[in-house]
Structures are given as C-alpha cells and as structure tokens.
C-alpha cells in the first residue's frame, strides 16, 4: 500500500494546520452522535450493500483513502481541503461516497480552509472566536488557542457549543482510532518495528533509510533515532510519509514509539492521566527535570504492581521495552515470544484501574479485573441522516473489509 502524506501546512493561505506538541492528543469517529441540518446523508450501508463496492472504489481511487487513513481521522491529504479546493475528480468521488459541499466543509474540513473574511461572511468566525481564535492566530501570526490542546471533556460548555456549530463532537474532536485492534494494547501492535534490521524486507529497509534516516544501528537500538523522541504529527513531512509506508500512523507511533514522552502534561486526560499518575508521575516531576522521577522508573517489570503494569501497558510498554536502563536492542529478545498481543491479557496486568475512564476509547465496563474484553463494535462511524434525523452506527471496517 502506498500511503500518502503532505505537510500540515495547506498550500492555500489559511489557518495553519501544523499542530504543536501541546496540540490535542489523538488517542481515541468521523461522524456525530447528534442530529443536524448539515449532517451528511447515510454514507455506508451494510457490508453486503450493493453500493459499498462503488463507495469503496470512490474513496480509494478518487479520494486516495487507504484502510488506515479512512479509520484514522485527519491522516488523508484530502481531509485537509475544503470542497472548493478539491479537484473535480475528488468532488465526484466525495459525492459518490455521500457528501455534499455543505457536509464536507463542515464535518470534514470544519471550514479550516477558509480565509478569515470568509468565516466572517458565513457567520463562522464568531464560533471560532468562542474557541479562542482571532484573525491573527488564524492567519498564522499568533499562537494557537488553548482549546487546541484540550480534549472534549476539558472544553467548557460554551466551547462545546461553539465546536458543535463547526460540526465537531466528542468523537471527532478527540479523533478516535477506528483501526481494528484485537489486542490488549490500546492500539494495534506494530510488530514490524520489533524485528531486527536483517529481518526486514528490502523495500522496508529502503523506506527506513531513504525517507526516515534510519541506519541499521538506529533501527536495532530502540529509542535512539531522534524522530522517535517526537510525536507523529510533529515529524518532518518526509519522515512521517515514510512512517506511514512502514505501517505507522498517529496512534501507534505516539504510543509504541514515543510512549507519549513528548506530550505536555496538560495533554494527559482520562485513561492516559490515570496511567501516568499510577506510575507516580505528577505535573511537577513530568515538567521539571530537577524533580526526582517516580519509583516506578527504577523498577523492573516483574517488580511493578498489577496496577503499574496496567499503566505501563496503556503507554504501550511491555516487559522487554520496560526492562532496560539503556535503549533496548532488538537482538536481545525475540518479539515472537516476548509478547502475544493477540492473546489473552496476562493475569498480572490489572486494567481495572480504567473502569471509570474506559481504556483507549473503549467504553467503561469493557474492562474487568484480570481480563480485557475486546468490543468488536467499539470502532464505528456514526452517520446522521439529515432526512431521517437519526443516528446510524456502522462498523468502520465495512468500507475496507
């Protein structure tokens, strides 16, 4: 699969799209759980729908979607363009999928491709101002507002109403991950990253070298490449494109590769906050190098409590990547026996600490003491029909089954 990525700076003069390290974390669908006169019509039928093949072809051939970019909000180049910036072929494809100009500009672009004067003319500037934007910051001459670094539940009620008016809602504001994940890890396990260099295919080696600046040593020594110290959205565009060709995207990179180490404390919320606090971190120790790290940092995996292991698992650590004072070397362990991400949750990992918050976007109640129950219906697109004015929940995997 050829993954496509461009710089987050839209070629048209408009609000900058390049997120800062403090920008909204992307842990967690595309469509709202609310009715709206602007809501798109029903996009996907059942898996066996006669229209599904036509819609999939339009999504892949004309809009350049892949299974990963469809299931992870914001990855596709096309989602950072307003309707008027789409090519004629892309507009035809979007129409075949089920969009209109109105629904695309609101639910996909959120009017972010518009000039400030256009926002004013369309009565959208006032909504963005309620979210902290000004003409100066919209045009790239000022800092992003603090709302860009907040999860939905951290917004005020007025900010949520403003976001609703721009076709944001909890699931797409938090950018839920709809990619299939049958493991007990929060996101799908990038097993290829734990294969030694000499076991990679030639094409993967060429991508890692030519696009991501890896060497054999940098690949085999986890965490030594400077890119691995950054979040996915802040990678150089060429490195990010290479990462996607290998099989990474926002969620599994930030979790398995960066372990959220580049996140600001204010970006921790819900289960992520539970995880870092369970490991003993506080805002002071996270942000101040002069503060002593928590005791968990000096423990081997076997010495962690079941709750601490659950916290480390939420940060995508496992025994071999946790148990090291230096950078783990791939030749030091066999990933095929180190973890079994598709197997049952080890009994000494107590995910019950997420009973209230849920676990990586799964609803509370999906996690029980001593076990992890995978919700096969948790990843979905919700589409609101402007004619029926009802909510239709559909599996995100239907399009790329």
Q: How many residues does the chain have?
A: 401
DSSP annotation of 177:
B
CB neighbourhood size of 309 (10 A): 24
- Report the Cα–Cα distance between both ends of the chain, in Å, rounded: 15
Q: Is the pLDDT of residue 30 over 80?
A: no
**Across 170-190, average pLDDT:** 83
- pLDDT at residue 79 is higher than 80: yes
Residue 69 — very low, low, confident or very high, per pLDDT cuts 50/70/90? confident
* 41 pLDDT higher than 50: no
- For the record, the structure tokens of 90 come out as 């892309």
Residue with tokens 């995207």: 249
Tokens of 183: 């493991």
- List, in sequence order, every beta strand (DSSP E) within 113-190: none
pLDDT tens per residue across span 183-226: 788 888 898 998 889 989 999 999 999 999 999 999 998 889 99
Which carries the bigger pLDDT value, residue 299 or residue 320?
299
Give the mean pLDDT of 229-245. Answer: 93
CA neighbor of 242 nearest in space, from 188, 215, 205: 205
The residue with greater pLDDT, 365 or 196, is 196
Strands 371-372 and 380-384: unpaired
Is residue 182 over pLDDT 90? no
Cβ contacts of residue 383 below 8 Å, gap of 6+?
A: 31, 39, 40, 41, 42, 43, 44, 98, 391, 392, 394
Q: Which of 60, 52, 40 is nearest to 108 (CA)?
A: 40
Provide the pLDDT for residue 362: 66
The yes-or-no verdict on residue 393 having pLDDT over 70 is no
Distance CA 318, CA 234 (A): 25
Q: Span 305-317, mean pLDDT?
A: 94
Instruction: Give 277's pLDDT tier (boundaries 50, 70, 90).
Output: very high
Predicted pLDDT at 352: 85
**177: which strand partners?**
72
Higher pLDDT, 50 or 381: 50
More confident residue, 21 or 332: 332
Q: How many CB atoms lie within 10 A of CB 20?
A: 15
Confidence category of residue 333, pLDDT binned at 50, 70, 90 = low
Whole-prediction pTM value?
A: 0.74
Q: What per-residue confidence (pLDDT) applies to 330?
A: 63
Average pLDDT over residues 175-181: 82
Buried-state track 244-264, b at ≥16 Cβ within 10 A, e below 16: bbbbbbbbbbbbbbbbbebbe
Q: How many CB atoms lie within 10 A of CB 2?
A: 8
Q: Give the number of other CB atoms < 10 A from CB of residue 280.
A: 15
DSSP string, 218-263: HHHBTT-SGGGGS-GGGS-HHHHHHHHHHT--HHHIIIIISTTTTS
Q: Which residues contact 18 (CB under 8 A, 6 or more apart)?
A: 7, 8, 9
Residues facing residue 329 across a β-bridge: 221
User: Cα Rg for the chain, rounded, in angstroms?
Assistant: 21
């Amino acid at each position: 699969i050829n993954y496509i990525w461009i710089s987050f700076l839209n070629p048209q003069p408009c609000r900058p799209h390049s997120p800062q390290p403090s920008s909204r974390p992307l842990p967690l669908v595309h469509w709202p759980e609310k009715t709206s006169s602007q809501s798109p019509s029903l996009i996907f039928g059942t898996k066996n729908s006669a229209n599904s093949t036509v819609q999939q072809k339009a999504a892949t051939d004309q809009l350049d979607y892949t299974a990963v970019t469809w299931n992870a909000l914001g990855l596709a180049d096309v989602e950072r363009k307003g309707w008027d910036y789409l090519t004629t072929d892309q507009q035809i494809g979007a129409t075949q999928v089920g969009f209109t100009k109105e629904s695309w500009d609101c639910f996909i672009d959120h009017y972010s491709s518009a000039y400030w004067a256009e926002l004013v003319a369309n009565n959208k500037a006032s909504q963005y101002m309620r979210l902290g934007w000004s003409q100066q910051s919209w045009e790239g001459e000022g800092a992003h507002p603090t709302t860009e670094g907040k999860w939905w539940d951290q917004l005020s009620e007025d900010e949520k109403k403003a976001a609703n008016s721009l076709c944001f809602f909890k699931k797409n504001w938090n950018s839920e991950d709809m990619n299939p994940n049958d493991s007990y890890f929060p996101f799908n396990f990038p097993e290829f990253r734990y294969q030694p260099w000499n076991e990679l295919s030639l094409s993967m080696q060429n991508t890692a070298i030519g696009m991501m600046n890896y060497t054999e040593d940098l690949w085999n020594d986890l965490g030594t490449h400077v890119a691995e110290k950054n979040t996915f959205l802040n990678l150089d565009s060429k490195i990010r494109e290479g990462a996607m060709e290998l099989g990474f995207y926002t969620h599994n990179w930030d979790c398995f590769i960066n372990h959220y180490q580049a996140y600001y404390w204010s970006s921790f919320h819900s289960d992520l906050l539970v995880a870092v606090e369970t490991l003993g971190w506080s805002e002071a120790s996270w942000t101040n190098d002069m503060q002593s790290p928590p005791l968990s940092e000096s423990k081997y995996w076997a010495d962690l409590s079941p709750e601490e292991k659950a916290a480390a698992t939420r940060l995508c650590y496992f025994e071999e990547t946790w148990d090291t004072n230096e950078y783990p070397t791939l030749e030091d362990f066999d990933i095929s026996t180190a973890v079994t991400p598709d197997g049952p949750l080890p009994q000494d990992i107590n995910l019950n600490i997420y009973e209230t918050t849920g676990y990586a976007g799964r609803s509370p109640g999906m996690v029980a003491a001593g076990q992890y129950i995978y919700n096969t219906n948790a990843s979905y697109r919700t589409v609101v029909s402007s004619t029926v004015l009802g909510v239709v929940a559909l599996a995100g995997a239907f399009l790329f089954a």
